[in-house]
């Protein structure tokens, strides 16, 4: 009874406070002395990159590198026209987003809009020049995934269905933008794939051709990781840092801190490879391992086999 009566009193007090009073009170709470109270949420008076438009950028790139799969039907006669139209749309979309990213990045500096527009246009053209290489690298990734998965029936199934291809496509696009030193956009694009697939590949990582990820959920590839050709990762693999160095202000220092995987390395599920170590070419690392030391080429790193114990009369361990 006491609890019921208290609840009634609270509800009556709440009824006396209408929505207009609520909004006014919360405007003050959310905005008063914003810069002082919320320094980690700075205000910017310029238009930031749009995640919706960047998704359209990725969709346009998919139309270019995988014609017919995610857009209109294309044949050998219409391929050139289709590619030309898609490239024109891509340029308009991406150039604007690069301009916004550059304006956002230079917020503290004196910059002229026309200079930023010109730089955005140049960077966009440089990126478009990389699309044929991106397409080639993705074709090798499709091949590697297909050849390593007996459940796959054809290349089209890989392109349509496999989350690894979505994540790797976003990575290869983001990586080229990262190398062009375009701010913010590479991380947005890589995190789109992370949210959609559970595969987290930093755009700063360096990954060779014929890269494959099987299943994929939970894979993490850190910023300074280097991955050679014909490397296969299974779900839950982490290529991470073992420790960080800090500057005098307590900020973590950005320096090489993730593993190097040489050519033809396979890492099985839930293995954690940590620190700036090297896994030699042709090596296999078994599942559920924690590895912090380099291993030579053609190594086999496996868990110690479980010891079988016989029990009688229902006795336990």
Lowest mean pLDDT among 34-48, 143-157, 225-239, 296-310: 296-310
Average pLDDT over residues 206-233: 97
Highest mean pLDDT among 3-7, 217-221, 306-310: 217-221
pLDDT of residue 251: 87
Element at 172 (helix H, strand E): helix 163-179
Q: What is the pLDDT of residue 24?
A: 87
Q: What is the DSSP string of 78-146?
A: THHHHHHHHHHHHHHHHHHHHHHHHHHHTTTS---HHHHHHHHHHHHHHHHTTHHHHHHHHHHHHHHHH
Average pLDDT over residues 86-103: 96
Please compute the mean of the pLDDT values over residues 58-66 and round it to a whole number. 97
Q: What is the mean pLDDT of the chain?
A: 89
Q: Is the pLDDT of residue 114 over 70?
A: yes
Residue 244: the pLDDT is 81
Which residues have C-beta within 8 Å of that of residue 1, sequence separation ≥ 6? none
Kindly state the percentage of the chain with pLDDT values over 70. 87
Q: What is the DSSP letter of 213?
A: E
- What's the pLDDT at 249? 82
How would you classify residue 298: left for phi > 0, otherwise alpha for psi between -120 and 50, otherwise beta?
A: left
Asked if pLDDT for residue 10 goes beyond 70, the answer is: no
Bridge-partner residues for 279, per DSSP?
A: 261, 295
Q: How far apart are CA 231 and CA 245, in angstroms?
A: 29
pLDDT of residue 316: 37
Query: Is the model more confident about 133 or about 252?
Result: 133
For residues 237-241, give the mean pLDDT: 97
Helix, strand, or coil (residue 237):
coil
- Across 241-270, average pLDDT: 92
Q: Write out the two tokens for 218.
A: 């939970």
Tell me whether domains 46-198 and 205-304 share a fold: no
pLDDT at position 35 is 84
pLDDT tens readout for residues 287-317: 999 999 999 999 999 986 544 444 455 443 3
pLDDT score, position 311: 42
Which phi and psi (to 5°) does residue 263 adopt?
Answer: -60, 150
The correct CATH number of 46-198 out of 1.10.3720.10, 1.10.3130.10, 1.20.1630.10, 3.40.50.150 is: 1.10.3130.10
Q: For residues 287 and 269, is the Cβ–Cβ distance under 8 A?
A: yes
DSSP character at residue 295: B
Token readout for 201 is 């590949």
CATH label, 205-304, candidates 1.10.3470.10, 2.160.10.10, 2.60.40.60, 3.30.40.230: 2.160.10.10
Question: What are the sequence ranges of the domains in the chain?
Answer: 46-198, 205-304
CA distance 200 to 192: 9
């Amino acid at each position: 009874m006491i609890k019921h009566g208290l609840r009634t009193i609270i509800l009556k007090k709440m009824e006396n406070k209408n929505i207009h009073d609520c909004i006014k009170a919360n405007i003050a709470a959310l905005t008063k002395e914003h810069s002082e109270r919320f320094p980690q949420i700075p205000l910017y008076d310029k238009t930031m990159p749009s995640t919706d438009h960047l998704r359209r950028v990725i969709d346009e790139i998919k139309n270019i590198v995988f014609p017919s799969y995610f857009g209109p039907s294309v044949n050998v006669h219409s391929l050139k026209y289709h590619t030309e139209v898609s490239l024109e749309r891509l340029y308009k979309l991406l150039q604007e987003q690069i301009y916004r990213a550059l304006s956002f990045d230079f917020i503290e500096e004196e910059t002229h809009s026309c200079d930023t527009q010109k730089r955005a246009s140049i960077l966009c053209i440089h990126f478009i020049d990389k699309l044929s290489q991106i397409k080639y690298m993705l074709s090798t990734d499709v091949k590697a995934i297909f050849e390593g998965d007996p459940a796959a029936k054809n290349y089209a199934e890989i392109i349509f269905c496999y989350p690894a291809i979505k994540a790797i496509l976003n990575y290869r696009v983001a990586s080229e933008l990262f190398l062009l030193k375009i701010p913010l956009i590479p991380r947005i694009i890589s995190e789109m794939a992370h949210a959609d697939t559970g595969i987290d590949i930093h755009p700063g990582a360096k990954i060779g051709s014929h890269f494959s990820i099987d299943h994929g959920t939970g894979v993490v590839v850190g910023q300074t990781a280097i991955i050679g050709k014909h490397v296969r990762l299974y779900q839950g693999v982490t290529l991470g840092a073992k420790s960080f160095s800090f500057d005098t202000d307590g900020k973590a220092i950005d320096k090489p801190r993730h593993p190097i995987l040489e050519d033809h390395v396979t890492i099985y599920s839930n293995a954690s490879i940590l620190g700036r170590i090297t896994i030699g070419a042709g090596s296999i690392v078994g599942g559920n391992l924690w590895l912090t030391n380099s291993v030579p080429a053609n190594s086999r790193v496996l868990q110690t086999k479980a010891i079988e114990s016989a029990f009688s009369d229902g006795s336990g361990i």
